A and B are shown apart, each in its own frame.
Chain A
Amino acid sequence: MTMPSECIRLTDVAFQWPSNSEYAIDIPALCLQKGEKLFIHGPSGSGKSTLLNLITGVLSPNKGKVEILGENLFEKKPATRDQYRADHFGIIFQQFNLIPYLSVIENITLPCSFSVRRNSRIEVEKKSPEQESNRLLQSLGLTDPDIASRNVTELSTGQQQRVAAARALLGSPEIIIADEPTSSLDADAKLGFVTLLFQELQKSGSAIIFVSHDRSLAADFDRVLSFEDINRNRRI
């Protein structure tokens, strides 16, 4: 069986939070190719985060199909979906990405304790998760040698976001989801962050969905979509 060239395919996906009509989603079709860099822009509060919850298998759609790497996620048990997320997704949030009681390296290697698959991808290259974390820190521009041992709460926001990127990239998951990863950074740091992220994506071959309200970052992406165009539903 040949692996499909698509990482993600959404077909007629509809979702509504039970308590209110906000963030309602109705997406006829959306797909992401392997290694593709997709930029989705839209104002905050338009339901972008809800979409990411659907793609990563945290929320179940009311109807429609969410296929990840050719498999319909919602035919599977919640525990399997959690495992799928651990194996195939790297996720970067807008802020507060790091667990305060873990060191920088422990934060980065966290996915390895939930995913054997990502761990083994590192082992194939005859490296330990810690070595790979250090390499990612270096290539994401955190070259300060004692950064790895620093308390995460002492890091600047920009440093924290890069540590989060390193965690998302560790073990080369197929899909990186970045939800407004640069909105807490200043203009220079934003560009630098995206540039370094792209370099690493090149190496790992991961696809990315980059969600932001800031179109100035969209230039280097393969495809740029407006969330309003994807989502038929309008806020009431």
Chain B
Amino acid sequence: MKFKLFSLAIKSLRFRKLSIGLTIFSLAVSVMLLLGVDTVRVQAKQNFVNTISDTDLIVGARSGSVQLLLYTIFHLGNATNNVSWQSYQKISGHPRIQWSIPVSLGDSHKGFRVVGTTTDFFKYYRHGKRKSLNFAKGEEFKNVFDCVLGANVAARLKYQVQDQIIIAHGMGNVSLVEHDNLPFTVTGTLAPTGTPIDDSILVHLHGLEAVHIGWEHGVHDGTVVNADDIEQHDLQPKTITAFLLGLQNKHDIFNIQRAINEYKKEPLLAILPGVTLLELWKVVGMVEKILFLIAAFVVITSLLGMVSIILTNLNERRREIAVLRSVGASPRSIFMLLVTESGLLVSAGIALGLLLLYLVLTLVNPLLESSFGLSIELMPPSLFQWLLLATILLGGLLIALVPARKAYNKTLQDGLTIRT
């Protein structure tokens, strides 16, 4: 009997192919949307939080912690103040510090940030799950006027190893004073990281210092420097924008952070990148929450659509119900038939939705990777996603009680009388 009800439900659904097919499709699309938004938000957050890893502290001039993170790691906005070279030397030379990476910002090339640093950047910088930087082509910079390009810079500007580029003072694309007397030679390009490094040009601090000779007061004082006599100048920078620290022992983080924040000679700020990233995500994350909410409403809408289809069909099915009653179906069987049909509909919608999700993710993945540096890993649904699906199924069954109940009442009212 149970089985018979099930096969009746399937045959009845198959009979109304078009309306049922569209209902399943609309459910599937909404399920795909909801899981898609969830997958992307989880992995985007993962990618975001993994922008920098293995760095214990980021140190810059005293300002807000989010601001410091934004300009050092995301290259958004500018530093209000610099850190003196002496302070950097003092702190990075501390025995508890394992490594340090100085970062100097402020120049650009065709809209891409130029980052002055040292070869320690290639040695110690980690992103994602402790991934180090890999070279797609070439190698790290060796000479003062060498540079390494991020993956997007190389791809967008179509630069090759050995090409020469000229960097400009400040940010932007036009009307900037260019340091055209001192071009940089590309020695290598990096593999994509999905982080702002892809949009950066890495040069040695000394190179950055060299192009700024004569610029000490913000405007050019007329001093002309040539690449040949560069050795005569002292290329040790006076200041840097910020620096990253790796500690010998992770347990020291808070002690060292406090020590830096209380540093007497200069107002400095040390932040824990992971903590600040999460703080920042809370701001960015609003968008993600809103998207998820919209997707959830789309699911609710398509469930309501399903119920309205079932209710519309119900009137046409009064004869069918009377016939089933005449051969011995109880009002309860009719009720169960309708609930079973809805359950099958929602299940089919969920299954098709999952299929669509993985299909779309597979198709869209290369696009996301290339244009946003966001790589979506294809994984089986998470526990949360299974719970979402279970909620949709349960919600579908609950909402299906409305037409089922109506059919039950009609069954009692109509009896064996066929009303048309």
Cα-based distance from A228 to B328 in the complex (angstroms): 29
**Is A3 located at the chain interface by the 8 A CB criterion?**
no
Q: Is the CB of A96 within 8 A of B420?
A: yes
- Known interface pairs A93-B322, A102-B11; A114-B328 also in contact (CB < 8 Å): yes
Asked whether B323 is an interface residue with its Cβ less than 8 Å from the other chain, the reply is: yes
How many angstroms between the C-alpha atoms of A56 and B415 in the bound complex?
A: 10
- A141 contacts the other chain (CB 8 A): no
* Contact in complex: B323, A98 (CB < 8 Å): yes
Report yes or no: B416 in contact with A99, Cβ–Cβ below 8 A: no
- The answer to the question of B388 belonging to the interface, with a C-beta cut-off of 8 Å to chain A, is no
Q: Are A83 and B328 in contact (CB under 8 A)?
A: yes
For A16, the chain B residues whose CB sits under 8 A away are: none
A61 on interface, CB distance cutoff 8 Å: no
Interface size on A, residues (CB 8 A): 34
B1 at interface, CB cutoff 8 A: yes
The answer, among B325, B327, B416, B420, for a CB contact under 8 Å with A52, is B416
**B323 interface neighbour in A87, A93, A106, Cβ under 8 Å:** A93
Name which residue of chain B comes closest to A114, CB basis.
B328
Q: Which residues of A contact B319 (CB under 8 A)?
A: 96
Which listed residue, B11, B12, B329, B420, touches A82 by the CB 8 Å rule? Answer: B329
Kindly state whether residue A156 has any CB partner on chain B within 8 Å. Answer: no
Q: For the complex, is A40 an interface residue (Cβ under 8 Å from B)? A: no
Give CA–CA (A91, B328) in the complex, Å: 10
- Interface status of B14 (Cβ within 8 A of chain A): yes
A11 at the interface (CB under 8 A from B): no
Inter-chain contacts of A106 with B (CB < 8 A): 11
Contact of B415 among A59, A89, A96, A110 (CB under 8 A): A59
Set of chain A residues within 8 Å of B329, measured between Cβ atoms: 82, 114
Smallest Cβ distance from A166 to chain B, in angstroms?
Answer: 13
Looking at the assembled complex, report how far the CB atom of A23 sits from the nearest CB atom of chain B, in whole angstroms: 10
Q: Contact check, A101 vs B328: say whether CB atoms are below 8 A apart.
A: no
Interface residues of B in 1-38 (CB under 8 A from A): 1, 4, 8, 11-12, 14-16
Q: Are A96 and B323 closer than 8 Å at their CB atoms? A: yes
Question: Which of A86, A100, A106 has the most chain B CB atoms closer than 10 A to its own CB?
Answer: A100
Q: Which residue of A lies closest to B324 (CB)?
A: A99
Which chain A residue shows the least CB distance to B322? Answer: A93
Given contacts A87-B328, A93-B326, A98-B323, is CB(A113)–CB(B4) below 8 Å? yes
Which residue from chain A places its CB closest to the CB of B321 in the assembled complex? Answer: A99
Cα distance, A83 to B325, chains bound together (Å)? 10
Contacts A93-B322, A101-B15 given; indicate if A114 touches B327 (C-beta within 8 A): yes
A91 touches B1 (CB 8 A): no
Answer whether A79 and B330 are a contact pair too, CB < 8 Å, given A93-B323, A99-B323.
yes
**B327's contact among A94, A100, A111, A179, by CB below 8 Å, is which?**
A111
With A82-B330, A99-B323 as contacts: A113 and B418 at CB distance below 8 Å: no
Within 8 A of B (CB), among A161-199: 167, 179
Q: How far is the CA of A59 from the CA of B413 in the complex (A)?
A: 9
B315 at the interface (CB under 8 A from A): no
In the bound complex, CA of A103 to CA of B94 (Å): 87
A109 CB to nearest B CB, Å: 10
Q: Does A78 contact B (CB under 8 A)?
A: yes
Which of chain B's residues have a CB closer than 8 A to the CB of A58? 325, 415-416
Which residues of B393-420 are within 8 A (CB) of A? 415-418, 420
A53 to B319, CA, bound (A): 15
Cα-based distance from A61 to B319 in the complex (angstroms): 23
Residues of A within 8 A of B (CB): 49-50, 52-53, 56, 58-59, 78-79, 82-83, 85-87, 89, 91, 93-102, 106, 110-111, 113-115, 167, 179
11 A-B pairs in the complex with CB atoms less than 8 angstroms apart: A49-B417, A56-B416, A78-B330, A82-B328, A89-B326, A91-B326, A93-B326, A97-B323, A100-B15, A111-B327, A114-B1
9 more A-B residue pairs beyond the given contacts A58-B415, A79-B332, with a C-beta to C-beta distance below 8 A: A53-B416, A58-B325, A78-B330, A83-B328, A93-B322, A100-B15, A111-B328, A113-B1, A114-B327
